[in-house]
Amino acid sequence: MSLSVPPETLALQRLYHWEATAPDRVTLSQPIGQGVVQDFTWRQVADQVRRMAAHLQAQGWEPGTKVAILSKNCAWWLMSDLAIWMAGYVSVPLYPTLAHDTVHQILVHSEAKACFIGKLDGWEGMKPGVPEGMHCISYPLSPSDAVRSYEGWDAICARSQPLQGQPTRAADELATLIYTSGTTGKPKGVMHTFGNFAWALGAGIQRIPMGENDRILSYLPLAHVVERVLVEHGWLRTGMHLFFAETLDTFTLDLQRARPTVFFSVPRLWVKFQQGIHHKMPESRLNLLLSIPFVGGLVRRKVQKALGLDQCRIAAGGAAPMPVALMQWYSKLGLHINEGYGMTENLAVSHITEPGKNQQGSVGPTYEGVEHRIDPVTGEIQMRSPAVMLGYYKEPVLSQEAFTADGWLRTGDKGHIDTQGHLHITGRVKDLFKTGKGKYVAPAPIEDMLGTHEAVEACVVTGANLGQPLGIVMINADAAAQAATAEGRARLEASLGQHLRGLNATLDPHEQLQCIVVVSTPWTVDNDLITPTFKVKRNRIEEVYAARYESWEESGKKVIWHDL
C-alpha cells in the first residue's frame, strides 16, 4: 500500500519540534538507584543525542550501517536509538534476556558494526555472544564489567561537539530491524521504515488518544514492537512524560511514582496483579464489597491506588490472548482493558477494542486505514496497511512467503469477523492438531480457560494422535512453594482437579482434556521454552515432553506431577 505521511510526524522531526518548543520540560525520569531519580528535559535529551550522533558519524561508516542496542529500558536506550538515526544509521534492538548464541546470531546476521551495552541483569551470560573487537559503548547504568571494558556514554558526550542542524531521514528509509522473538525458529529481522512508524502512530492516536500531559511507565522490553511503537514513538509524537522502572523488586514503587495515565501490559502481568489483590483480600469478600453502593466505589479507588493505576484513563493488553473473565474482573474494578492485536510485521497496529465500548471476547475493529479479511479455505486472518513491513532482512524467500499473491500479510492466526466488523481470534493456523480419533482440536481457546486457575503461570494444550488432548501447566512460584509439602500439594491437586472438571464441562467431547500435567520447573528464556515476551514455544514443549504423553494418558490420573 502507498505510504504518505506528513514530514513533521517522522521521528527525528518530532525530536527537533520538542527541542525547539519545550526545551525545559522534563520528559524522561530515570531511576538510578537508592531512590534517586534523574530527570531529563527535552533540551538535555536533544543535546546528548546530538553528541552521540556526532561520535557515531565520526566512525566513518557508510549510511545505513546497522548499530545494535542491548539493554533493558532506560533513558539512554531511547537516546541511543535517536542518535543512531541522526547519524544516518539503522538501529537493531536486542532483547535484554537473550542467550549468548542468539545475541551472536542477531549481531552477525544484521551485520552490526557497533553495539550499545546497557542496563542488564545477565551480562556475563550474554558477553560471549558479542563478536570480538566490536565497537561497544556502555551506559551509566551498565554492568561494572561493561563500564570497565568499553568507553562510556558520558565520556563520549563530554568530548564530542553536538551535531549541528536538523539532519532528517526520509519516510521510505529503513529505520530499524526488529527481530521477532522466535516462537517458530530463529529470529527474523523485520524491516520497518520511518514512515511505517509515523503512519502507525497516526492511526493509533485516532483510536487511543494521547497527548503531552500523559504519563507512561516504560518497563516491557523496548526491543518489543508494542513498547517501541506505544512508548518510544508515542513519546516522540505527543511529547508525553516517560518514567522507567528500576527493577522487578521496585516495580510497585515505580508504578506509584509514575501514576501512569496510559498503561499497557501483557496478560501475564494483569494476572499477577489480580493474584496479588486476591492474596490481600479473598475474591468472595472483594465481590461482596464491590456490590455495596458507595462502599464499592471506595474499594475500587483503594485497589486502583494500590496498583498505582488510579490515574489510568487508558488500560490495554495484548501480545497474547486476554481471557474474557480477566477483563470482566478488571471492569468491576473500574479498569476497562482495551485488548489489542497485532504483530511485529505490522507494528502491532491492526486491531484494538474501542474505549468505552463492551467488545470483550473480540480484539475489536481494525484501526482506521487497516484492511482485514479471512482466508475462506484456511480461516487465516490476513491484513494490509501502510505500516506493514518491507520484509525480512536478507530473507527474500521468507519475505515472499509472508504475503499472499495479491499482497496481503499472512498473520498465521485463525479467526472470524462478526457482523459488527469485530475480529475474533480462535488460534494459530498451524497449531491445530488431530487426535487419535481423527478430530481436530484448536488449543488456544482451551488454554485461555485452563490458564484462569490462580496457580497457573503458563500452559499448553497438546495431544496429536492421542485419544484425548492433555494440558501441561507450569505453576507459579507461590503454587510451587505450596506444593513443597504433602498437604499443600494435595490441596493444589484437588483444586486443579476441580478446575479440570469445570473446564471439560464446557468443551465438546473430543476437546475434553484427559489430564493436567503439572510442571514446577520454570519455563524460561534460558531453557528455550518461552520467548522474551513470555510466549510458550510449542515446538520446544513437544521436544521436551512428547515422549511421555502416552504414559501420562495411560496412567488414568487426572492431575499428574512432573519435574524435568
Same-domain pairing of 277 and 227: no
Same-domain pairing of 395 and 501: no
Q: Of 374, 397, 429, which residue is a domain's last?
A: 429
Residue range 342-391, pLDDT digits in tens: 999 999 999 999 887 888 888 999 999 999 999 998 899 999 999 999 99
Same-domain pairing of 200 and 277: no
Is 2 inside any structural domain? no
Is 478 inside any structural domain? yes
Is 1 inside any structural domain? no
Q: For the chain, how far is it from start to end, CA to CA, in angstroms?
A: 49
Q: What whole-number distance in Å separates Cα of residue 348 and Cα of residue 341?
A: 7
Quick check: 88 pLDDT over 80? Answer: yes
Whose cell is 563478536? That residue is 131
Alpha-carbon 7 to chain mean position: 28
Beta strand segments in 331-378, E: 337-341, 351-352, 371-374
Q: Identify the H or E element spanning 497.
A: helix 486-504
Residue 78 has what pLDDT? Answer: 98
State the Cα torsion 427-428-431-435 to the nearest 10°: 40
Quick check: 54 pLDDT over 90? Answer: yes
Is 3 inside any structural domain? no
SS3 264: strand
**Torsion over CA: 226, 228, 233, 234 (sign):** positive
Same-domain pairing of 48 and 164: yes
Same-domain pairing of 305 and 228: no
Q: Could you tell me what percent of the chain has a pLDDT over 70? A: 98
Quick check: 184 pLDDT over 70? Answer: no
Residue range 484-526, pLDDT digits in tens: 898 989 999 999 999 999 999 888 778 899 999 998 778 887 7
Same-domain pairing of 397 and 317: yes
Q: What whole-number distance in Å separates Cα of residue 333 and Cα of residue 300?
A: 5
Residue range 264-292, pLDDT digits in tens: 988 878 888 888 888 788 888 888 888 88
At 212, the amino acid letter reads E
Q: What whole-number distance in Å separates Cα of residue 392 and Cα of residue 185?
A: 14
Please tell me the total count of domains within the chain: 3
- Contact partners, residue 130, CB within 8 Å, separation at least 6: 70, 103, 104, 107, 115, 117, 136
Q: C-alpha angle 139/142/148, rounded to 5°?
A: 90
Is 71 inside any structural domain? yes
Quick check: 433 pLDDT over 90? Answer: no
Same-domain pairing of 43 and 183: yes
* pLDDT average, residue stretch 100-122: 94
> For position 533, which CATH number holds?
3.30.300.30
Is 55 inside any structural domain? yes
Among left, alpha and beta (phi > 0; psi -120 to 50; other), residue 81 is: alpha
The pLDDT-based confidence of 122 (bands split at 50, 70, 90) is confident
Residue range 210-225, pLDDT digits in tens: 999 999 999 989 999 9
The secondary structure of residue 510, as a DSSP letter, is G
Same-domain pairing of 373 and 229: no
> For position 152, which CATH number holds?
3.40.50.980
Same-domain pairing of 492 and 373: no
- Contact partners, residue 400, CB within 8 Å, separation at least 6: none
| SS (HEC) of 17-49 | HHHHHCCCCEEEEEEEECCEEEEEEHHHHHHHH
Same-domain pairing of 202 and 308: no
- Contact partners, residue 78, CB within 8 Å, separation at least 6: 28, 45, 222, 232, 235, 242
Is 293 inside any structural domain? yes
The pLDDT-based confidence of 3 (bands split at 50, 70, 90) is low
Length of the chain counted residue by residue: 564
* pLDDT average, residue stretch 398-403: 94
Phi, psi of 263 (to 5 degrees): -140, 125
Residue 494: closest CA among 445, 558, 540: 558
Is 132 inside any structural domain? yes
How much helix, strand and coil, in percent to the nearest 5, is found in the chain?
40, 20, 40
Q: Of 397, 429, 461, which residue is a domain's last?
A: 429
> For position 413, which CATH number holds?
3.40.50.12780
The pLDDT-based confidence of 181 (bands split at 50, 70, 90) is low
What is the domain extent for residue 457? 432-562
Same-domain pairing of 69 and 213: yes
Same-domain pairing of 413 and 516: no
- Contact partners, residue 543, CB within 8 Å, separation at least 6: none
CA atoms within 13 A on the CB side of 53: 27
Q: What whole-number distance in Å separates Cα of residue 189 and Cα of residue 109?
A: 9
At 88, the amino acid letter reads G
Q: 522-529, long-range: CB within 8 Å, 24+ apart, which pairs?
A: 522/457, 522/474, 523/457, 523/458, 523/474, 525/95, 525/97, 525/98, 525/99, 526/99, 528/99
Q: Of 429, 448, 482, which residue is a domain's last?
A: 429
